[in-house]
Amino acid sequence: MQAMKSGTCLNPWIGSMMGLGIVGMTLGATISSRQSAIALPMQQDQTSPRLVAPLAQLPASLQGTTITVGSTTVPIPWERRGDRLGMADLPLMTHLGLDLQDSTTPDQQPVLWFADEADMLPTWFSNGYRFLDITAWAAQQGWQLTPNGTNLRLQAPSGTVTAGRRGKQVWGDRLVLDVDRPVLWSFDEDATSFTLTLQATPGSSFDPALLTTGEGNELNSLTVATSGGQMQIRGTFDETSRPRVWSLPNPHRVVIDISQVDVVPREIRWAPGVLWQQQYLTVGDRPFPVHQIWLSLSDDTRLEPIWSNANQLPGITPLKTMAATNQAYVAINAGFFNRNNQLPLGAIRRSGQWISGPILGRGAIAWNPQRQFALSRLSLTHTLTTQQGNSFTVNHINSGYVQAGIGLYTSVWGRTYTPITDGERIITVDDNRVIQQTPASAAGTGAYAIPPQGYLLVLRSFNSAAQSLPIGMTVALTPDLRPPNFANFSTAIGGGPILVQNGQIVADAKAEGFSDAFAAQAAPRSAIGVTTDGNLILAAIHFSPGGRGPTLRETAEIMRQLGAIDALNLDGGTSSSLYLGGTIINRHGSTVGRVHNGLGVFINAPQ
């Protein structure tokens, strides 16, 4: 997205959708080519050269998680290194309105704030965030930054709101506030409401009724309140819409758009090996918002499965929490799970170890540090052999999917195992020897210890096998992985169905054991794909404006449009979430369900 020039469309976000018949309107505001008469105070002499140590070599002398503007505190991680101060870029954009522009290098980020031309801010990486060095830029704006523990107080020159207006647009609703100078604001939203707090007071000509009166297309209600040198605007809107706040210069304006067309086209080289893109892609006559992270894996950019609790496999948590806990810079939700008992339902493999095994021969994707990939329907069973020569098939490993037979649970599952079904019999094996047989209690009750160097065999409707597994019996497990070449890959994740294989659309849900209802569903989707040049695409696809989510086949077509020659569907619906630098970028966080596992991107970038 380019910096706006005089005479261009007021909103390049809406203007980009003109091909869909959606046109931005200005509500009578004009763009003037004259320079602002307001002089911005300078806090330091920008012409005097200073010797500053390279950011990558400066330790983080102070860190925090919140910033207070006026009486409002917003969640923005910040970090001070030497005499430089950085703020996490996506939370900064979300809450304080610095608009990130397209970029071609990760160490410099162009931003817009009440300006026609973007300013370039240096970056550094730490603890899962990309920080923008705002030291000199903030001084130019007259901001004062005061750390207080883990909070940073931000003070800026106050302004005056001289006028306000609202109008219904073909694409939604627009609110415009005229201000006498660039003013700091903070913004917060949930699924159906927003609060905009400006460090400004109303001027004598400001009439709040021009904002609060009238019907909206997407806007349901609006209130304006003033207190303590701040103006606060609260609005409610339909759950299919999203608000966006942005600024314009000459004259200075703050604009709030509420629309179902909520994706700003972006192409930002965010980190080494990481490209952030978002756009609308059309299948048939229906446009879908597609948020993407493109990855070029290397020793410095790794993709690994993550899950909610490092000490046990059962459990679910928001992807944002999971990513932050693991200090991942990027994350996407991954495999399926049972939301009721919070157990995994698909393949998870990390560092050559099966964390959870595949089920029902569903699709899985695997990769290794050499940027080699494999995509196939996957199965894994084990043959259990006793010293007496008896053998049994072990159906699944560390899985919430149960059927009659034998399940295998290792210490990766956790310290203990709780029965999933009634009537289970638990065989404890340590050092390849049966040491205990236990009739289990009812499903969901009891906790049975898993030996750190052993495992549990859980017999379900198969008590006859217990006779061949008396205490003291020596046993051995032999894996049977199909296709066998997946053993050559240290990392894998399961999902399904396979969307694209060798450039051809597959999307055969029934062949992978999914229900007819699942196969026909139109819903938000997450997917992973591989391109011809060996890059990975992590994609989240949401509702078409005012309409439905994509079907599996439409998702496959979108992945192929992006250039994927192989692609796998991941868990979708409320699970579909794409995380970047502390922020869920494909939807509002309050609409995201908790998930069992995801894929995290770990970057060895300059710290």
In the prediction, which pLDDT does 89 show?
A: 98
CB 363 within 8 A of CB 512: yes
CA 307-310-315 angle, 5° bins = 55
Distance CA 368, CA 345 (A): 23
Q: Tell me what pLDDT residue 528 has.
A: 98
Dihedral through CA 546, CA 549, CA 550, CA 551, nearest 10? Answer: -130
Q: What is the largest CA-CA distance in the chain?
A: 94
* Total count of residues recorded for the chain: 607
Task: Give me the pLDDT at residue 35, please.
Answer: 28
CA 390: distance to chain centroid? 48
Q: Which amino acid is at 134?
A: I
Give the residue carrying structure tokens 């012409």: 47
Candidate CATH numbers 1.10.8.60, 2.60.40.3500, 3.40.190.10, 3.40.30.10; the one for domain 8-30+57-262: 2.60.40.3500
- Cα angle for residues 323, 325, 326 (degrees, 5° grid): 65
Quote the pLDDT of residue 589. 86
Please answer whether residues 29 and 10 qualify as being in contact, where contact means their C-beta atoms are separated by less than 8 angstroms. Answer: yes
Which string of DSSP letters, residue by residue, matches 251-271?
A: TTEEEEEEES-----EEEEEE
Given this model, what pLDDT does residue 49 score? Answer: 30
CATH 1.10.8.60 at 379-482, yes or no: no
**Distance of alpha carbon 570 from alpha carbon 586, whole angstroms:** 15
d(CA 106, CA 580): 14
- Are 397 and 355 contacting, i.e. CB atoms less than 8 angstroms apart? no
Q: Which pairs count as long-range contacts for 324-329, CB under 8 Å and 24+ apart, including other chains?
A: 324/128, 324/582, 326/128, 326/600, 327/127, 327/128, 327/602, 328/128, 328/579, 328/600, 328/601, 328/602, 329/125, 329/128, 329/129, 329/130, 329/271, 329/274, 329/580, 329/581, 329/601, 329/602, 329/603
pLDDT score for 606 = 63
- Cα(276)–Cα(490) distance, integer angstroms: 26
Query: What distances in angstroms separate CA 444 from CA 138, 197, 223, 307, 340, one per listed residue?
Result: 55, 48, 49, 21, 11
The residue with tokens 């970029």 is 103
Positions in the chain short of pLDDT 70: 1-60, 605-607
Which pLDDT score is estimated for 590? 85
Q: In what order do the strands lie in the sheet with 455-460?
A: 433-439, 425-430, 455-460, 405-410, 391-397, 379-386, 475-482
Q: Are 380 and 481 in contact (CB under 8 A)?
A: yes
Question: For 437, phi and psi rounded to 5 degrees?
Answer: -125, 130
Q: pLDDT at position 52, please?
A: 38
Q: Alpha-carbon distance 377 to 495, whole Å?
A: 10
What is the dihedral angle through the alpha carbons of 468, 469, 474, 480, rounded to the nearest 10 degrees?
80
**Structure tokens belonging to residue 34:** 């004259």
pLDDT computed for residue 13 by the predictor: 41
Which amino acid type is present at position 334?
A
Q: Which two tokens stand for residue 37?
A: 């008469």
Rounded distance between C-alpha atoms, residue 199 and residue 228, angstroms? 9
Q: Map out the domains of the chain as residue ranges.
A: 8-30+57-262, 266-377+486-603, 379-482
3-state secondary structure 502-564: CCEECCCCHHHCCCHHHHHCCCCEEEEEEECCCCEEEEEECCCCCCCCCCHHHHHHHHHHCCE
53-62: which pairs have CB atoms within 8 A and are 24 or more residues apart?
53/82, 55/81, 55/84, 55/86, 55/122, 55/124, 55/133, 55/606, 56/124, 56/606, 56/607, 58/82, 58/84, 60/126, 62/147
**C-alpha–C-alpha distance, residues 486 and 373, integer Å:** 9
Residue 441 has a pLDDT of 87
Tokens 């050499």: give the residue: 370
DSSP result, 457-491:
EEEES-GGGGGG--TT-BEEEEEEEESGGGGG-SE
How far is the C-alpha of 548 from the C-alpha of 570, rounded, in Å? 18
Whole-model pTM: value is 0.90
